[in-house]
Structure 1
Amino acid sequence: MKRRSAAASSEAAAIEATAAAWVAQRDGGFSPEEAQAFAAWCAADPRHAAAVARLEGAWQALQQLRDFRPAAQRHPDRDLLRPPAPARRAPVLRLRHVVPLALAASLTVLAFWWTGRPDASAAGEHYATTVDGYQRVTLADGSVVELNGSSEVVVQFTAATRHVELRRGEAHFTVARNPARPFLVQAGDIAVRAVGTAFNVRLGREDIEVLVTEGKVDVAPPALLAPAPASSPSPAPGASTPRYPVLTPTRLTANERAVVHALAAPHAAPPAPVVERLAPERVRAALAWQGPRLVFVDTPLAEVVTQFNRRNQLQLVVADPALATLPVGGSFRAENVEAFVRLLESDGDIVADRSAPGRILLRRP
């Protein structure tokens, strides 16, 4: 028994170490051959994919430690373009002096802490993005939350319920199946309950939109779906009528969207959710913000520009040779060239010249 246990432990450690090396290498950029080898390794054994998922959570923890900033920001975070040394300012979001082996070791060590950490405290775990931001978070239960720009969520897990509050913006949820522990997303005055499914929630100024991409969910006021967490504040005496009332649960299935409109007046009759089935192309359009992303870790600007140019008609040109080796790091939407250029410009060390049609010249001021 002891020999078998030791062998199993050794095998698990080897899988964890290999997964850490893959994750570190992936964030530095895969070649087509490496991407194919990584996919084959993940498919070869369910434990491989599970180890990668755990380490993605560890990677998110490293990102949070590195990227911690005050939550409320009206403009893109200028520190996304952070200098590599005090004497030089550079547009870089980076872990300094990171090499793949060191990063893999860090991920392996941090994974043991991350996978064994307790559920969120009463205050909840907070995640937010800037205007052009994007964040992918693997929660403690294995569920995945993807945040669009200008979005904010608070996660609070209890023994009975997995509760997420969408405070602003838009998020997509891929829920790990657990029938004994429902997954509840609250947005404004409505909630979405799921067990194991995938759906998108957008909290707008005048409406709330729920789009199911896999499985089924119920949409209703939070009180009809699950009790609010103990830390949730009670309504103040004389509180106003909810702006987005839903009197009975509405069941949605894959490719269905429900839109709950605000009340026309404080005492108006509550509107019923508008439910429609979307064609696949409309679903893809609604989720276009999740599109392919480019991830760089201390990558020279010239190489970053090459990656963007391969995917876009609008071409970037490094007009100043001194900028070619400038290290760049971060996660960027592959098709959003303008957002990337705005981040480069925001720190004042790079000027974008848009005078030529179809291209943007990058040079020093």
Structure 2
Amino acid sequence: MKREHDIEIKDELMVRYLAGEAGPEEAMALQDWLTLAENKAYFENIQRTWEQTHPSKTPRAIDAQHAWKKVDLQTEPAVMWKNGTAAGRRNKIILRIAASLLITILATLLIYIRLYKPSVNMVAVTTADSLKNVSLPDNSTATLHRNSKLMYPATFGAGQRNVELAQGEAFFTVTSSPEKPFIIHTSVADIRVVGTAFNVALKANQLEVSVKEGKVLIYTSQDSSYLTAGFTGIVQPAMGTIRVKDSVHMNAWGYATHRLIFKDTPLEEVIADIEKAYPYSITLGNANINNCRLTATFDNDSAENLLNLIAETLNLSVVKNGTVFTLEGEGCP
């Protein structure tokens, strides 16, 4: 390769530089060599390879005092030049070496920071066909709906309590801690609370947050909005803003609490809420059954008992076949 300052730039020198083991003159020669775009591209390839193959190697720091002594001895003038030019030349050399030494130290520091970020032990909880209750490190809880994924650290840090809802839906009950905000990260927006209960649904590239208790802040890079109990926030990236509704779906978190409330509700909506809360499918033996409406409250009932009560109220019958319930009867006009 091209020679700079009578030092040949080879792969071995680049590796020593990345490891923090190159001398000041070598570092200066390498910096001069990197002024050419093709040389810089070649070096960056070497750098990427080195970083990938040395995940546990501690870069050796430069001993600046020793390096300066060595440079001082090597640059001591043998004769005095006319008009003080020797001193000027010596100062130039020292300044260039100081600059290259600083670059070397900074490069070593950056490599150290990149390789030695404090590792965080992350926990990932994924659900498939069933719900799961998760106890978080601060005694907050999350009930994950089916086909959902939540990630959180095994121990929360000193400043914030960060979790990520990667997909699906979850109902959070957050332990109050004003000095340590609880933040839920999603692909659409982030949610910040200090202590409250709320539901987060992430589906079809849309985020919907329904608040049961307390106050919640939803924010994106473009917009932010506070929600209080009884309000719903909807975020669609294409819209760029947060839409707020002064209501919540009555059973938005019914799957987590198993408390379902219906007030003159069309049976089609009743069935959708039951299927969300329980791992069963419900079919109708007569299309007229969809015309029926229901007013009732169910609290921690089993799916079978709940459907039997509905059938009794609407003068229907229930047939169970595995995980499928069928409501049969005349239905409603």
TM-score range, shorter chain: 0.3 to 0.5
Provide TM-score, normalisation by structure 1: 0.40
Provide TM-score, normalisation by structure 2: 0.43
Q: Which has the higher contact order (CA 8 A, sep 6+)?
A: 1
